[in-house]
Amino acid sequence: MALHDKPGRLYLHLFKWPAGAFELPPIKEKVTRAYLLADVQKQALAVKQDGAKWLISLPAVAPDKVDSVLVLETAPQ
Protein backbone atom coordinates (compact mmCIF):
# COMPACT_ATOMS: atom_id res chain seq x y z
CA MET A 1 0.00 0.00 0.00
CA ALA A 2 1.12 3.53 -0.74
CA LEU A 3 -0.55 6.74 0.40
CA HIS A 4 -0.68 10.31 -0.78
CA ASP A 5 -2.94 13.09 0.32
CA LYS A 6 -4.48 16.42 -0.54
CA PRO A 7 -6.43 18.61 1.87
CA GLY A 8 -9.58 16.68 2.76
CA ARG A 9 -8.62 13.53 0.81
CA LEU A 10 -6.43 10.48 1.23
CA TYR A 11 -5.51 8.33 -1.77
CA LEU A 12 -4.61 4.76 -0.86
CA HIS A 13 -2.93 2.68 -3.56
CA LEU A 14 -3.81 -0.95 -2.94
CA PHE A 15 -1.35 -3.26 -4.69
CA LYS A 16 -2.79 -6.36 -3.01
CA TRP A 17 -6.59 -6.42 -2.97
CA PRO A 18 -7.97 -7.17 0.51
CA ALA A 19 -10.76 -9.73 0.85
CA GLY A 20 -14.06 -8.05 1.75
CA ALA A 21 -12.84 -4.98 3.59
CA PHE A 22 -9.86 -2.73 4.06
CA GLU A 23 -8.80 -1.88 7.60
CA LEU A 24 -7.34 1.59 7.87
CA PRO A 25 -5.05 2.14 10.86
CA PRO A 26 -5.95 5.04 13.18
CA ILE A 27 -5.76 8.49 11.58
CA LYS A 28 -6.38 11.96 13.01
CA GLU A 29 -9.19 12.76 10.58
CA LYS A 30 -12.73 11.41 10.39
CA VAL A 31 -13.55 9.47 7.22
CA THR A 32 -16.72 11.01 5.76
CA ARG A 33 -16.86 9.13 2.45
CA ALA A 34 -14.98 6.41 0.56
CA TYR A 35 -15.01 5.41 -3.10
CA LEU A 36 -12.79 3.86 -5.76
CA LEU A 37 -11.00 6.30 -8.06
CA ALA A 38 -11.72 4.04 -11.07
CA ASP A 39 -15.48 4.32 -10.43
CA VAL A 40 -16.75 7.05 -12.77
CA GLN A 41 -19.92 7.42 -10.66
CA LYS A 42 -17.88 7.56 -7.42
CA GLN A 43 -20.36 5.26 -5.71
CA ALA A 44 -19.89 5.44 -1.94
CA LEU A 45 -18.45 2.41 -0.17
CA ALA A 46 -19.65 1.44 3.31
CA VAL A 47 -17.44 2.93 6.02
CA LYS A 48 -17.53 1.85 9.65
CA GLN A 49 -15.50 3.14 12.58
CA ASP A 50 -14.29 0.44 14.99
CA GLY A 51 -12.64 2.20 17.91
CA ALA A 52 -9.73 4.14 16.43
CA LYS A 53 -9.69 2.04 13.23
CA TRP A 54 -11.80 2.41 10.09
CA LEU A 55 -13.25 -0.47 8.05
CA ILE A 56 -14.09 0.16 4.40
CA SER A 57 -16.16 -2.47 2.56
CA LEU A 58 -14.75 -3.32 -0.85
CA PRO A 59 -16.12 -5.14 -3.89
CA ALA A 60 -14.98 -8.73 -4.39
CA VAL A 61 -12.88 -7.87 -7.46
CA ALA A 62 -10.28 -5.12 -7.70
CA PRO A 63 -10.93 -2.51 -10.41
CA ASP A 64 -7.26 -2.75 -11.45
CA LYS A 65 -5.04 -5.85 -11.21
CA VAL A 66 -1.92 -3.84 -10.34
CA ASP A 67 -2.92 -0.65 -8.48
CA SER A 68 -6.45 0.11 -7.29
CA VAL A 69 -6.89 3.51 -5.66
CA LEU A 70 -9.23 3.95 -2.71
CA VAL A 71 -10.20 7.59 -2.08
CA LEU A 72 -11.15 8.66 1.43
CA GLU A 73 -12.74 12.04 1.97
CA THR A 74 -11.90 13.30 5.43
CA ALA A 75 -12.82 16.00 7.93
CA PRO A 76 -11.18 17.08 11.19
CA GLN A 77 -12.44 15.18 14.26
Identify whether the C-beta of residue 58 lies closer than 8 Å to the C-beta of residue 20: yes
Q: How far apart are CA 31 and CA 77, in angstroms?
A: 9
Q: How far apart are CA 67 and CA 44, in angstroms?
A: 19
> For a pLDDT cut of 70, what percent of the chain falls above it?
100
| Tens of pLDDT, residues 15-26 | 999 988 999 988
pLDDT for 61-74, tens place per residue?
999 999 999 999 99
Laid out side by side, the sheet with 53-57 consists of: 21-24, 53-57, 47-50
